[in-house]
Structure 1
Amino acid sequence: MGFLKRMMAAVGVGGARVETQVHHRAVRIGEELTGVVVLQGGSVEQRVERVNMGLATRYRAEDQDVTHTLWTRPVLGSIDLRPGERRELPFRFTVPQGTPLTLPGTAVWLVTDADIAGAFDPGDHDQLQILPSREMEVVLEAAGRLGFRLAGSEVEYHHGRVVQELSFRPPYGASGIQELELMLFPAAGGGLDVRLEVDRRARGLASLFVEEFEQQSFWHVPGALLAQGPEAVARELARRVQARH
């Protein structure tokens, strides 16, 4: 009977289960995501070699979607999980800078990956809603106050990192502008670095990563300006948009 139970557990029948319970699925970049990983023992004792947790997304490459792990860390080392035993592993981590925002066309999810001896593909995936950091929100609000409307989001992989391009449609009646494209990055000394392109032909920003940036395509938004709020940032953004087109 013991052999039969172990064999069934190996194909997912009566084996240990892993479930992740996230306290709040909506979380800002730079703030904490918290929850509990629940290990539930099955009908036989099983060895848990490790439990890892991380964030993942997808990006486009050569006309196909590629799953990419943004970040991972161990939650638990090796333990023996007895039949029917339940263990709860609280977790708490900061959503790192550079995590894509959850927007139409872009998904981010929490991956819980467990290595359990004799178990069949244990693990869990939980969709998250990644919100902009407070600083990013100021810039996005500034674009909205100028009448730009978010049209889409695309995640790409350039120079060893994932980047997210946000596309905005111009306000009704704006002449000569088809699209405003922004990429937002945390600046080393505070504030944000913005890659900005005003597009008349709706081409993407990808080429900017293999060419030197034009002076007007790079915008460092200092923390002091962000602290003044969306109206102040909108005035500077309007000046740069006008200069670009």
Structure 2
Amino acid sequence: MVFKRLLGSLGVGGPSVDTVLEPGAVTPGGVVAGQVHLQGGNTDFAIEHITLELVAHVEAEYDEGEAEGMVAFHQHVVAGGFRLAEDERRSVPFSFTLPWETPITELYGQGLGVVLGIRTELGVAGAKDKGDLDPLAVRPLPAQEAILEALGQLGFGFKSADLELGRIGGTGQQLPFYQEIELTPAPRYAQRINELEVTFLAAPAGLEVVLEADRRGGFSSGGHDALTRFTVGHHDVEQADRNAEVDGWIRRLVEHHAPDGPYGHAGGALFAQGGHGGHPGDGHRSGPGVGTAVAAGAAGLAVGVVGGMVAAEVVDEVGDFFEGDDEEEDEGDEG
């Protein structure tokens, strides 16, 4: 998908910019590549910089309630310090490495409803324009996919996925937010937990896998959350007993009477852009937000016959988000 719009800060006659990504999804820690196409305006312009910014639609909990907005989490300068002649057409190639903790947006080609994008900022003669916003597709690393596949084979079902502002204590988390993938319990655990939440924190050496179970309460005690963490190497994908290993993680999690280590969720700063004011709350995980319920079908994490319908609704919502963002900025420029 390509978005093209006039450089709003300069008005009619200014240069325009299109950012085109190479087709296909990339993996966390993988390379994003493409080209930025420039079209000169009705006079020469000094291009100070072309910067690509990774943004994510993130949710947060505050004392007053919940909020959501866009958070920028990585920047890459493509080029700068050149003159774009009148009516000149110029294409500038780029490539850069995604942060290892970049959330996944799809599984086996099926969108999860997580919104990631690349925003193009064009700096011209002291003015900046954050106009071009292109959706970014990210598929799981082999180790992430193997764990999700094992969970599906064990009988867990996909429920939702979203991004939460804050940090998970006791981990090596680098980004200001984390992704949680919410699963319905396998039949053997349905009497003990309401849902299972999985967070992957990838790094060059491997994965931290943080599991959180919403445990059911008994007659004499209320329910509560239990957390634990495991590490997996990137090259441990072909492990023959993967299902047994993951099942062992779940049993360890649900049998513990207290969280395994200091894995609290600390609230983060306010949104970099598009956020709402307020004070960070205690960082507990919240429910799904915009476009977070989708079937993961081929992975075995299916939600039944309605999965296809839910997935279609999510795709529409994600598309509307990007189109709506572009339209809102256009309206703002006109004002």
Q: TM-score, normalised by structure 1?
A: 0.81
> What is the aligned counterpart of 1:133 among 135, 138, 141?
141
Q: CA RMSD in A?
A: 2.7
1:155 maps to what in 2?
163
Question: What SS does structure 2 have at the residue aligned with 1:132?
Answer: coil
Of the three residues 154, 162, 166, the one matched with 1:146 is 154
Please identify the structure whose Cα radius of gyration is greater.
1
Q: Tell me, in whole angstroms, the C-alpha distance in 2 between the residues paired with 1:59 and 1:9.
A: 26
Structure 2, unaligned runs of 5 or more: 1-6, 106-110, 168-174, 218-223, 255-335
Tell whether the 8 Å contact from 1:177 to 1:198 is kept in structure 2 after alignment. yes
Confirm or deny: 8 A CA contact 1:116 1:122 kept in the other structure: no
Give 1:103-182 correspondences, 5 Å limit: 103-117=111-125, 121=129, 123-159=131-167, 161-172=176-187, 174-182=190-198
Q: Which has the higher contact order (CA 8 A, sep 6+)?
A: 2
Corresponding residue number in structure 1 for 2:19: 20
**Alpha carbons of structure 1 residues 138 and 201: separation in structure 2 relative to 1, 3 Å:** same
**CA displacement at 1:194 relative to structure 2:** 0.9
**Alpha-carbon deviations, 1:189-212, whole Å to 9, x = none?**
x3321111222259xxxx99xxxx
2:283 is matched with none
Q: Which amino acid aligns with 1:133?
A: L
Q: How many residues align?
A: 225
Contact preservation (8 Å) 1:165, 1:182: yes
Aligned AA (1:198): A
Describe the shift of the 1:136–1:153 C-alpha distance in structure 2 as closer, same or farther (beyond 3 A): same
Q: Which one is further off, 153-162 or 107-116? A: 153-162
Show the counterpart of 2:291: none
CA separation in 1, counterparts of 2:17 and 2:91?
A: 10
Tell me how far 1:119 sits from its aligned partner. 6.6
For residues 160-188 of structure 1, give each alpha carbon's deviation from its aligned partner in whole angstroms, at most 9, with x where no partner exists: 62211111112346332211111111256
Q: Does 1:196 align with 2:211?
A: yes
- Superposed structure 1 runs of 4+ greater than 4 Å apart: 8-11
Equivalent residue runs for 1:209-220 within 5 Å:
217-220=228-231
Q: Structure 1 pair 233/9, CA: closer, same or farther in 2 (3 Å)?
A: closer
CA distance in 2, matches of 1:178, 1:80: 59
- Aligned CA distance change for structure 1 residues 197 and 81 (closer, same or farther; 3 Å): same
Identity of aligned residues (%): 32
Q: Distance in 1 between matches of 2:197 and 2:128?
A: 44
| Cα 1:110–1:65 shift into 2, 3 Å | same
SS at match of 2:241: helix
Contact 2:37/2:90, CA 8 A, preserved across alignment = yes
1:221 aligns with 2:232: yes
TM-score using structure 2 length: 0.61
**Cα offset for 1:118?**
7.7
In 2, Cα distance between the equivalents of 1:77 and 1:97? 27
Following superposition, the deviation at residue 132 of structure 1 comes to 0.9
Return closer, same or farther for 1:194/1:86 CA change in 2, 3 Å cut-off. Answer: same
Distance 1:48 1:181, change over 3 A: same
